[in-house]
Every structure is written in structure tokens, then in C-alpha cells.
Amino acid sequence: MKQMSLYSVRISRSADISRIVSATADIYRKAVDFFIHVCMKEWGSISTCKGQTGKVNAVEAFTIKTSRRASVPYDFGKDFYKFPSYLRRAAIAEAAGKVSSWKSNLKNWKEADPQTRGRCPGTPSAGYVYPAMYRDNMFVRTGTYTASIKVFTRGTWDWLEVSLRKGDVDYILRHCKNRRECVPTLQKRGKLWYLDFAFEETVELPEIEASARRILAVDLGINSACTCCVMGPDGTVAGRTFLKLPAENDRLGRAIGRIKKAQRQGTHRMPRLWARAKGISDDIAVKTAEFIVKTAVLYDVDVIVMEHLDVRGKKRGSGRQRLHHWKVMYVQQMVEQKAHREGIRISTVCAWKTSRLAFDGTGRVKRGRESERTANNYSICEFSTGKIYNCDLNASYNIGARYFIRELIKSLPVTVKQRLEAKVPSVSKRSTCTLSTLISLSAVLAAAAA
């Protein structure tokens, strides 16, 4: 499989260079807006073309004069003098994509229920798009720490020499020397300009039978960053690790408290407070992803298993601010990228009742105010037998068990599955499976193979 990664390199901080690069980005956005207007007018004929290349050629037929095409309905060269051809085709592709997306969104909006469909999709515009610096035509590497980019300056398009920050270039040379470098993109973050380099590499993930795999089951939490357990196909737990990050959680709690205080005082715009809270939550997410992958490499696992969580929609309850800053999807994306680079697969399981059911099969657990023994500590739970256990660790056992149950029986014939369900009835409903279910299933499979 192909793995993509992105690294940013800061270019010269000169005021003149920033002004020139900003002007280049502005004229590129104007070109995108021009082609969006053309696509909106002529979408009937453009949409019939197959593929991106066909649409680009169709738009050029409406806008670009040639020796065989002396006049066009929309003259692009009139307002965009000597606009580079590679950049022009990129602007056309960007415009066609925006118009196509808007058309499909508008169609879905018209077909939706008028009482629940919300606002009509706004007409497309260029927005904050940035130009791609195509190699040899828009970007030329002149040295290890220098490059030339084609920009709009003094009323024409010319080459501009820029310096690349040494630390960024050295990092790329150290970590990306075996990856294929793709076309860089000009980007602005804050007041600084960067060249974003995309790198492509081919990763081969090993094919291992489910009965021979070792997995790392991960339960992601809000107060506790993550809880991991290493599990085998028979339900044997080979290791357990916890990541708490108390200092980072305290800082996030204080940042959220400042936001709440400002909101109670009637303040609506708090960019600095929100940025601080976002930065802390991003730091927690990065450290959590690194810990999970390092643990997987340490125990030499084949698969990292996590819950399939859906955190979209409006957050409710007293902890909605903290839940809003929970970067669970960001963590899973980083874990996937890092794990694939190490040759480790990623899988997800149903998240229903992983924390609510005891791993030993004794049924529903008591948490929080449901029990006097857990009233002041939501991280622990009480089993129906009276045993007190770590709630996140209990969930990680159930996550790993559900993965193995699914993998072990999905390739079996229907008749064999029916016999297994007769002996282990809880296998038939995946959302109620626990570690005890996996242990029982493994015993039945082992007896059948003997």
C-alpha cells in the first residue's frame, strides 16, 4: 500500500519575499474564481467530459486562445498575462472540483426533508486555496538549503530565489531519504510562508492468520489518555500499559476553565484562549499516538485494535467542553499512519458496551454514582460479584476479544458457525461479546481441531 506524509519547510522571512508570495497566491485565487465562473456557466457541457483531464480540456476550449482557436467566449489571457500553463491547469481542476461538489451538495439539499435540511449550500468560491509549485516549471532546487520558485512580480511571472530553513531540510533528509518527493505546495501559516512537501512510500503489511496474531487492544479515554493490553487469539493477556498524562490534563482543564469564565462574563470571541486549549489537546493527541505505536513495536504485535467512535454532533452535559477537545479521531489517524510505517495493521470494533460489560462474563458493571464504592472515582467499576476493577482496562479486554471473535469465525462455513453459536450463544451478538466469550470460543475451536 502507498503511505503519504507531509512535511513543511519555512522559506525566507524577508518582507519583500512575503509580499511577492502573497501577491502570487492572490492572483492564483483570482484565476480559480475565474474558472469557477466559467464552470458554473458551462457546466452542462463540461460535466459530460470523462475524468479530470477531459474537464480541464473542455474548460480550456472555452477560455484559452490558440492558433486554431482565434476567439473564445471567456478570454483568460486578457486579465492573466503570461499565466503559467501548469498553474492554469491546476486552477481549472480546483475550480471544476468545487463546482462539482457544490452541484452534488445542492442536489442532496433539494432532495432532503425541508424541515431538517438546513441552509442551502452557498455558491462556490476560491477561498484560501494555495498554488502547487510544479517541479521544473514552478519550483527548482538550486541548493541544499535554497530553491527558486516562479512568482508574480513586477507585472509578470519570474523566478525568485528563496532560502529554506536548515532545521526543516535536515529533518527531511534524515527521515525521508527513502521516500519519493511529490510536488510542494505554497502555504501560509500565521505570518510565515512554507513549502509543504508531500512524500510517498510503499509499505507492505504482512498477511498473518488470525489464529497466529498478537494484537494491541487500545481503549482511548478523556481523563486517562489510553489503556493498552497485549492479547493472543486464545484470550491470553501478555501485557498491560497505561498512559495518564496528568500534567497535560491539568493544563487542559485550566485552559477550559478560563474559557468558561470568559463565557460567563459575556465574552464571545476568545481566539487566544481557544488556541491555547487546542494546542494542549493536540499535544495530548500526539503523545498518545506515539505511546500506542511504541508499545505495539515493543511487544511485536501484528494489529492495533481500537473502538469505532463517532464523536460528531452537539456535545451535551457538564463535560462537553472537555469532550469537544477530545482528539480521538486525530489520535486514530496518527496511529494508523505510524503503525503502517512499522508494518502493523489497524482495525476497529464496535464500541457498544465495551466498558459496561464485565470481561469475566458476569454482566453489567456499576460505575460512578451507581455504586457507593465507585461514587468518587469514575475510572473504576464494580462487577456484580463485588470485585473492583479498572474500567478502561476492562474495556480494552473486551475490545481485543471482539476483534478475535470476528476474525476467527468470519471465514468459517455457515454450518460450522451455527454449531459454534449453539455451544457459545453469546457469539451471535457481537455487541455483547466479552473476554470470557473469546475464551469459551477458543476452547470450542481447540476441541473441534483435536
pLDDT tens, residue by residue, 172-203? 999 888 889 899 999 999 889 999 999 998 88
pLDDT of residue 309: 85
Whether 168 has a pLDDT exceeding 80, the answer reads yes
Kindly give, in sequence order, each residue whose CB lies less than 8 Å from that of residue 206, ignoring residues fewer than 6 positions away: 302, 343
At 335-352, the pLDDT tens digits run 999 999 899 999 999 999
How confident is the prediction for the chain on average, in pLDDT?
91
What CATH topology corresponds to 210-449?
Nucleotidyltransferase; domain 5 (3.30.420)
Which pLDDT score is estimated for 374?
86
Across 272-281, average pLDDT:
93
Structural domain boundaries of the chain?
10-158, 210-449
Per-residue confidence (pLDDT) for residue 80, from 0 to 100: 92
169/63 Cα distance (integer angstroms): 40
pLDDT at 81: 87
Give CA separation, 128 vs 17, 40, 166, 183, in Å: 19, 19, 28, 19
- In this prediction, residues 83-101 reach a mean pLDDT of 94
pLDDT range class, residue 37, cuts 50, 70, 90: very high
Residue 314's pLDDT band, with cuts at 50, 70 and 90, is low
pLDDT of residue 141: 92
Q: What is the pLDDT of residues 110-120, one digit of tens each?
A: 998 888 888 89
Looking at residue 15, its pLDDT comes to 87
pLDDT at 371: 87
| pLDDT of the residue at 399 | 96
Local confidence band at 307 (pLDDT 50, 70, 90 cut-offs)? very high
Q: What is the pLDDT of residue 427?
A: 87
Of all residues in the chain, what percent carry a pLDDT higher than 70? 98
User: What is the rounded CA–CA span in Å between residue 276 and residue 356?
Assistant: 34
For the segment 372-411, what is each residue's pLDDT rounded down to a tens digit? 888 888 889 999 999 999 999 999 999 999 999 999 998 8
> How much is the pLDDT for 2?
85
Q: Which helix (H) or strand (E) holds 181?
A: strand 180-181
Q: 118: burial class by Cβ within 10 Å (0-12, 13-18, 19+)?
A: exposed
The C-alpha angle 204, 209, 215, rounded to 5 degrees, equals: 80
Predicted local distance difference test score (pLDDT) of residue 268: 82
Given a contact cutoff of 8 angstroms between Cβ atoms, the answer to whether 354 and 397 are in contact is no
Average pLDDT over residues 58-72: 91
- Other beta carbons less than 10 A from residue 375's beta carbon: 12
Report the pLDDT value the prediction gives residue 316, as an integer from 0 to 100: 64
Question: Residues for the chain: how many in total?
Answer: 450
Predicted TM-score of the model (pTM): 0.81
Amino acid at 181: E
Q: What pLDDT score was predicted for residue 169?
A: 94
Q: pLDDT tens, 11-36? A: 988 889 999 999 999 999 999 999 99
pLDDT reported for residue 149: 95
Of residues 298, 261, 344, the one with CA closest to residue 1? 344
Residue 424: all three cell numbers together: 457459545
In our burial notation (b when 16+ CB lie closer than 10 A, e otherwise), range 123-143 reads ebebeebbbbbbeeebbeeee
Q: If you average pLDDT over residues 267-276, what whole number do you get?
A: 90
* The pLDDT of residue 203: 86
